[in-house]
Structure 1
Amino acid sequence: MRSVETRDWIRDGLRSVAAGALSIVLAILNIPLFALFVVSLALTPVLGIGLVALPGVTALIRLKADLARRVAGWHGVTITRPYRPLPAGVGPVGWKRYRWIVTDPATWRDFAWLLPGAVGGLVLGILTIAIPLYGVQGIVLLPLWLYLGTDWYGYGVNWPIESVGEGFLSLPQGLAFLALGMVVAPWLRRVDGLFAKLFLAPTRAAELRLRVTQLTVTRADTVDAQAAELRRIERDLHDGAQARLVSLGMAIGLAEELVDRDPQTARKLLAEARENSSTALVELRHLVRGIHPPVLAERGLDGAVRALALTSVIPTTVDSDVTGRLETPVESAAYFAVAEALANVQRHSAATFAYVSMHREGDLLRLEVGDDGHGGADKTNGTGLAGMERRLAAFDGTMTLSSPPGGPTIVTMELPCASSSPRTMLSSGTD
C-alpha cells in the first residue's frame, strides 16, 4: 500500500513540476496577447481595422484562457467557461461580432487577467521548478566532485578536503529540497489555478445565464430522450408481446373450433398457445426491467449495482458506502448510467478488470467506473456515453471521461441526491 502511495506521490509531483514549466511558457504568452488586444482596440476608429483584428485577437485570448482553465482542472480547480453564446446570424468578422465581443463581460475579465496572470504564472511556475531543481543540483554535486577528483589518464585534479566534504554534505540537503519540491509543487499549481479562477470564472450573473442555457438544453434533451424511450417501448410491445398475444388469441379460437371434431389438433394448438403465453410473459418482464429493474426496487442502488457486477463477464469489484434509499428517479438514473458504463467496458475496452465506486458526500452522489482496458474512449463517437451524459444532466448531474490511449478508462459521474437539485433553483438573492 505504501509503495502505491509513494508512486502516486512521485507521479503527482513530477506532473506538477512539468505543469510549472508549462505555466512559465503560457504566462509569457500573456504579454503579447495583452499588447495585441490594446492595439486592435485602439485601431477600431482607424478604417475599422479593429472590426477585423479584435475578433481574431479575442479568439486567441479565449483559447489561451481555456488552456489555463484546463491546466487548473488538472489540479482540482474547476473553472467554467463564462462566455455568452454566439447569436444566430453573426459572422466571423463585422460589427455584430465586434459588438458581441465587447459587450460580453467575460472578454474584459480575460483582458484583466492577462498581466496579473503573467506575473503570477511566472512567479509560481519558477518556484515550482526551482525548488526540486535545486535539490537535484545538490544530489549530483557529490558525483561531480568525485568525478573531477579522479585521476583520468594521468591527469589528477587535487581538490581541497573541505570541498570534498561539502560535496558529501550536499547529498542529504539535495534530497531534502527535492522531496520538499515534490510536496510543494502540487500545492503551488493549485494556488496558480485558484488565482486564475478569480478572473476566468463566470460572475454570478454569468452563472445564472449559463444555468438557464444549460437547463434549456437539458430540458430539450430530456424531452427527446423520453420520446425516444416511448417509441422504443411501443415498438417492443408491437413487435413482441402484442404480436404473440394476437397469435395466442387466434390459436385459442382455432382450438375452440376443432375441440369437438379434431381433439388431437386442438391439444397441439393449446400447447402452442401455452408456449406463446410464456414467451410473451418473458418479453413483458424484460420490457419492465428496461423501464425500472425489479432488483433496483427491491435492493436499492447498492444491491442493484452489486448484482450488475456479479453478472458481468469481466471481473468487477464494487466499493460503496451508499446506504438507505435515494429518490426513485435519481436511483434509476444512477443505476442505468453505471449499467451503460459497464456495458461499454464489456463491449469495447478489452479489459481484464473493472471496478465501480459509489460514495455519497453530503447531498452529492459520486460514481466512478474504471477498467484496465486499452482506453481511447470518446464521448463524441457513439451514443452510449452521450446518452449517459444526457440522462445525468436531466438531474443536474455531470459526467467526466478520462481515457488516454493505452488506458485506463475512468468515467466519473456526480449526481445530486435529490430529484430537484438546489442548483436548479434560481434564487433572487444578491450577488
Structure 2
Amino acid sequence: MKRLKDAVTAGAQGLYLSITSLAGSIVLFVCAVVSIAFILLGVGVFTTPAVLTSVRAYANRHRVLAGEWSDVHIPIPYRPLPADLGTGITAQVERCSLMLKDPATWRDLQWLLANMTAGAVVVAFAPTLLLYMLYGWVLALGVWEPIHNAGGGEWYAFIHVTSQTTANYAAALGVAFFALGVFVNPSIVRAHFLIARSLLAPTASMRERELALRVDHLTETRHDAVDTSAAELRRIERDLHDGAQARLVAMGMDLGTIEAMIESNPAKAKELIAKARQNSGEALTELRDLVRGIHPPVLAERGLGDAVKALALRLPVATEVEVDLPGRADAPVESAAYFAVSETLTNAIKHSGAERVWVDLHHGGGMLRISVTDNGRGGAALGAGTGLSGIERRLGTFDGVLAVSSPVGGPTMVTMEIPCELS
C-alpha cells in the first residue's frame, strides 16, 4: 500500500514538474537570451539582473524540491554580490557585469535548455505510466469499435487495436504500465533531479574557488578573534585595576588606619570598619559582574537555554524565551552564542524603543539557530554602528552567519546560525 501511495505521489510530482519544467524553462530562457542580447542596446543592462535573479529563484526552487521530494541535495554555487552596490546606474551596470561573470549564471542557462527537453520528457513518464492505463481500459470497454469503423487505425503503445481481443490486450498492457509505474515512479522523479544536479551543482573549479574564499573568510575571522580576545583581556585588566583592585587597596589602607586608632578613637575606628565592609561588598559585586562578563556561571552550570532565560529576567522590557535544545554545544560555541544574544538584546533595548522582545533558540540540521525579534521602530542594519557588525565578527569565528530583517517601522528580526553538534 505504501509503494502505491509513493507511486501516486511521484506521479503527481512528475505531472507538476513536467508542466513547470517545460513552461517555466522556456519563458525564462527566452527572456534571458533576449535580455542579454539587448545589452548592446543599453536596455539589457537594466533588465538582465532582474531576469537572471528570476532564473536563480527558479533554480533555487528546483533545488528545494529536489531535497524535499527525492533527497537529492544540490548546493547553491552563486557568487555573493556586494551588499553596498546601491541602486544607481553605475551600480546597475556593475551588478549586471558581476552576474554575467559568474560561471553559475551560464550553467543555469544550460540547465534551462536541459530542463525543457530531457528533464521534462523524463519526468513526464511518471504520470504517464499511471494514467495511460485508463485509455487502455476505455478502448477495451468498446470505444475501439467506432474508431475502427470510422477508418481510424488506433494504436495503444505497440498494439494495433482492430478487435475486442486486441483492445483487451491494450487493457492488459495498461495494467502492466501501471504496475511498472508503481515500482519506478519515485526513481523517475529522482532521475529528473539528478539531471538538474549535473548542471546546477558547483563544478570542481567552483568548489575550489568556494574553498579558497572560505579559507580567506576563516583566516579573517580568526584574526578578528585574536584582536577581540586581546581587547577583552585589556578590558578585564582595566576593570580590575579601576574597580575591584582600587577598592581592595582602599580597604587595606582603612584597615591599617583602624589598627592604629582602635584604642585611641574607637568611634572613628568603628566608622572606618563600616566603610571597609561597604568597600568589600562593592568589590565582591564588581568581581561577580566581571566573572559574569567573562563566562556566566549559569552558562557553565545549566547551559545556553537557561543562561539566556536568566539574562532575559534582568532586562527592563518583557522578554519571552523559547528553547528547544536537546543537548549542549561545546563551551566556546555556547559562550559565543550567549554573548551574541546579550549584545543583540542590548542593542534592541538601547536603539529600538521596543516594548517586547522574543528570543527563540533551537537546533536542527547541524545548526544552532537563534532569532531575536522586537516590536521596535526598526531600521537596524549591518555596519550602521549598532553593534551588529561586532556580533557578526563574533559568530564568524565559528563559521556562523548573521542576518538582519529590520524594515522602517519594525519589527526587527536578527537571526544567527552557528554550525555545531549537540552532546
Which TM-score bucket, shorter chain as reference? Answer: 0.5 to 0.7
Residues 73 and 229 of structure 1: CA distance in aligned 2, closer, same or farther (over 3 Å): farther
Superposed CA offset, 1:158-209 (max 9, x none): xxxxxxxxxxxxxxxxxxxxxxxxxxxxxxxxx9xx8999278982112211
In the TM superposition, residue 341 of structure 1 has moved relative to its aligned partner by: 1.9
Residues 359 and 373 of structure 1: CA distance in aligned 2, closer, same or farther (over 3 Å): same
Whether 2:254 is the aligned partner of 1:251: answer yes
Once residues 337 and 111 of structure 2 are traced to their aligned partners in structure 1, the CA distance between those partners, rounded to angstroms, is 42
| Percent identity between the two aligned chains | 46
Question: What corresponds to 2:383 in structure 1?
Answer: 380
Whether 2:331 is the aligned partner of 1:328: answer yes
Match for 2:79: what amino acid?
Answer: P
In the TM superposition, residue 318 of structure 1 has moved relative to its aligned partner by: 2.0
Question: What corresponds to 2:159 in structure 1?
Answer: none
Once residues 60 and 226 of structure 1 are traced to their aligned partners in structure 2, the CA distance between those partners, rounded to angstroms, is 47
- The correspondence of residues 236-315 of structure 1 with structure 2, limited to 5 A, is 236-315=239-318
1:31·1:118 contact (CA, 8 Å) conserved in 2? no
Question: What corresponds to 2:121 in structure 1?
Answer: none
Superposed CA offset, 1:69-95 (max 9, x none): 68978999784653799xxxxxxxxxx
2:111·2:199 contact (CA, 8 Å) conserved in 1? no
Question: What corresponds to 1:110 in structure 2?
Answer: 105
Q: Return the index of the structure with the highest Cα Rg.
A: 2
Q: Secondary structure at the match of 2:263?
A: coil
Residues 394 and 69 of structure 1: CA distance in aligned 2, closer, same or farther (over 3 Å): farther
219-228 or 301-310, larger mean C-alpha shift: 301-310
Once residues 380 and 72 of structure 1 are traced to their aligned partners in structure 2, the CA distance between those partners, rounded to angstroms, is 31
Once residues 301 and 338 of structure 2 are traced to their aligned partners in structure 1, the CA distance between those partners, rounded to angstroms, is 13
1:33·1:61 contact (CA, 8 Å) conserved in 2? yes
1:301·1:331 contact (CA, 8 Å) conserved in 2? yes
Aligned length: 295
Question: What corresponds to 1:198 in structure 2?
Answer: 200
Once residues 374 and 29 of structure 2 are traced to their aligned partners in structure 1, the CA distance between those partners, rounded to angstroms, is 34
TM-score normalized by the length of structure 2: 0.58
Superposed CA offset, 1:129-180 (max 9, x none): xxxxxxxxxxxxxxxxxxxxxxxxxxxxxxxxxxxxxxxxxxxxxxxxxxxx
Once residues 36 and 100 of structure 2 are traced to their aligned partners in structure 1, the CA distance between those partners, rounded to angstroms, is 18
Superposed CA offset, 1:247-273 (max 9, x none): 112212222222333333222222211
Once residues 285 and 267 of structure 1 are traced to their aligned partners in structure 2, the CA distance between those partners, rounded to angstroms, is 27
Question: What corresponds to 1:82 in structure 2?
Answer: 79
Once residues 295 and 104 of structure 2 are traced to their aligned partners in structure 1, the CA distance between those partners, rounded to angstroms, is 47
Match for 2:294: what amino acid?
Answer: I
2:76·2:201 contact (CA, 8 Å) conserved in 1? no
- The correspondence of residues 226-237 of structure 1 with structure 2, limited to 5 A, is 226-237=229-240
Q: Secondary structure at the match of 2:264?
A: coil
1:233·1:287 contact (CA, 8 Å) conserved in 2? yes
TM-score normalized by the length of structure 1: 0.57
1:321·1:360 contact (CA, 8 Å) conserved in 2? yes
Q: Secondary structure at the match of 2:381?
A: coil
Question: What corresponds to 1:222 in structure 2?
Answer: 225
2:77·2:206 contact (CA, 8 Å) conserved in 1? no
Match for 1:261: what amino acid?
Answer: S
Residues 119 and 362 of structure 1: CA distance in aligned 2, closer, same or farther (over 3 Å): closer
- Structure 1 regions of 5+ residues with no counterpart? 1-19, 40-56, 86-100, 122-190, 420-431
Q: Secondary structure at the match of 1:381?
A: coil
